[in-house]
Amino acid sequence: MPELNYWCELAWLPPGEAVKGVLVTVTDSMISDVVPGVAEPPAGAVRLAGLTLPGLANAHSHAFHRALRGVTQREKGSFWTWREQMYTLAATLDPDSYLALARAVYAEMALAGITCVGEFHYLHHGPGGRPYDDPNVMGHALVQAAREAGLRIALLDTCYLTGGIGTPLTGVQQRFGDGDAERWAIRAEALLAAYRGEKDVEIGVAVHSVRAVPAEQMPVIGRFSAHHAVPAHAHVSEQRGENSACVETYTATPVEVLCEHDILGPRSTAVHATHLSDVDIALLGQSGSHVCMCPTTERDLADGVGPARKLRDAGSPITLGSDSHAVIDLFEEARAVELNERLISEQRGHWTAAELLCAATADGHSSLGFADAGMLVPGAWADLVSVRLDSVRTAGASARDLAETVVFAASAADVHSVVSGGRRIVEDGRHVLGDVGAMLGEAIAAVRGEGA
C-alpha cells in the first residue's frame, strides 16, 4: 500500500489545539498515524507550512447557483425575485454544461480547503420534466465533477413535487419533479445502487422543503433514509412566508411537520432554520438533528439570522454551507455565525474559534454521512488543509491565537495546500486541474448563453 508522510509545521489536533511539528502518515486514502512533537521534517516527508486543519465540509451546496454570482446583485428584490433568476438559469442546463460548471465550482471549493461537498440536487430531468434516457444522468454529472475536482460528495437526491403548498409545478420547476414520492424513491434507489460500495460517494436524500413536498409524502423519504442509513436534509423556515403558508395549511410549523412525518433525527440536517419558535428549537435539539447555517447566502437573500447558539445548546450540531455560492469561503461562513449573533445580541463571544472549526470539519462531515472524516486522527480520511500564517491577513498571529486568527481573519485565498482522501489536489495555491478561474469563466459563459 502506498504510504506518504506529511510533516505539518502546526496541526489542529483533537480536542482542539494547534500542535507544533506533527508527522501525519497517509496510507492510500486514510490517515494511518499521527505523531506530534517531531521537530524537523524527516527525509522524504512533504513539508506543510502554516496551520494544517482537517478537511472542510461544505454541508449545503447547489453547484449551478455559482453562475448567478454578481448577476443577482443589481436590483432590489427579495428571496422570491432571486428565485425567478435562478429558475431562468436552471432552464439552460444539460448534463454536459452541468458537468463543466460543477467541476469548476468544486475546484473552486478545493482551493478554499473543502474536501467534501453536500450537493442538494434537484435539477433531475430534461426540459418540460422529460426524464433523460438515464433518469439520473444529472446526478452522475455531479459525482463525476466532484471526483475530477478531487472532492468526496454526498449527493442528496432531492424530492421536489409541488411549486408551493397545494400548487403544481410550473415552467422550469417541472425539471425538478418525479410526480410523487414513490416514483422519486425508485429513481433514488437506482442512483444509490450505482454507487454501492464506492466509499468516496454517499447517496443521501432530501425533502426540498415543506413548500415542495406534501406532508403525507414525506414518510417515504424518511423511510428511505432510515432503511439505507443515509443522510436526510431539508430546507427549513428560510423565509417567514414559508412559515405562514405552512401554519395555514397544517396548523403546524415546518419543523413540527417534518418531525411528525419522520424526517428529523441524528442523520438529518435542517438547512437554514432561520425563523424558529422555541418549540422548533427544542424539537430539532432533542432529535439530534444537525442544523446547517449558510450565513453568506442568508444575508445575500435577506433571509434573516437563525438562532445557531440556542440550537447548539438544545442539542443540534451546527454545520456550514456556502449554498448559493455568493462566495465560497468556509472561514467567512464560520465567523459569520458568531458575528451575526453579536449584531443581534450586542454581546461578543457566543462561539469559540474551536467550536466554529468543529462545525466546518467534523460536524459537517458527520452530517454528510462521513463520520470518519474531519479530524486529524489515525483511521480518518486523509484530508489535510494547510493555511498560510504569513499572508497579509494572518501574519503576526501569536501561538496562543492561531485558531482565532484563522477563523476571524483568514480567507479561502490563504489555503495553500490541500490533500483530499490522500491525494494532493492543491499545491502552492494551484489546483491540479489548472486555471480554475478560466474553467469557471468558460463554464459560466456557456450556461448564460454568452459563448466561451
Contacts to Zn ion by CB under 5 A: 323
How far apart are CB 375 and Zn ion at their closest, in Å?
26
- Based on CB atoms, which residue is closest to Zn ion, 236 or 436? 236
How far apart are CB 283 and Zn ion at their closest, in Å?
21
How far apart are CB 429 and Zn ion at their closest, in Å?
29
How far apart are CB 196 and Zn ion at their closest, in Å?
27
The position carrying cell 508522510 is: 5
- Based on CB atoms, which residue is closest to Zn ion, 202 or 323? 323
- CA dist., res. 429 & res. 412, Å (int): 10
| Secondary structure of 36-90 as H, E, C letters | CCCCCCCCCCEEEEEEEEECEEEEEECHHHHHHCCHHHCCCCCHHHHHHHHHHHH
DSSP 88-121: HHHTT--HHHHHHHHHHHHHHHHHTTEEEEEEEE
- CA dist., res. 431 & res. 110, Å (int): 8
- Based on CB atoms, which residue is closest to Zn ion, 22 or 294? 294
- CA dist., res. 19 & res. 370, Å (int): 25
The position carrying cell 432554520 is: 273
How far apart are CB 120 and Zn ion at their closest, in Å?
5
- Based on CB atoms, which residue is closest to Zn ion, 154 or 380? 154
Q: Tell me how long the chain is.
A: 452
Q: Which three cell numbers mark 138? A: 444529472
- Based on CB atoms, which residue is closest to Zn ion, 300 or 332? 300
- Based on CB atoms, which residue is closest to Zn ion, 157 or 323? 323
- Based on CB atoms, which residue is closest to Zn ion, 89 or 410? 89
How far apart, in Å, are the Cα atoms of 113 and each of 18, 29, 31, 401, 424? 17, 17, 17, 20, 12
How far apart are CB 195 and Zn ion at their closest, in Å?
22
How far apart are CB 325 and Zn ion at their closest, in Å?
10
- Based on CB atoms, which residue is closest to Zn ion, 157 or 414? 157
Q: Find, among 165, 163, 86, 80, the residue nearest to 129 by Cα.
A: 163
Find the residue with minimal CB distance to Zn ion. 323
How far apart are CB 222 and Zn ion at their closest, in Å?
19
Q: Quote the strand ranges of 310-440, DSSP E.
A: 318-320, 384-387, 415-420, 423-427, 430-431
- Based on CB atoms, which residue is closest to Zn ion, 303 or 323? 323
Q: Are 220 and 182 in contact (CB under 8 A)?
A: yes
3-state secondary structure of 202: strand
3-state secondary structure of 255: helix
How far apart are CB 271 and Zn ion at their closest, in Å?
6
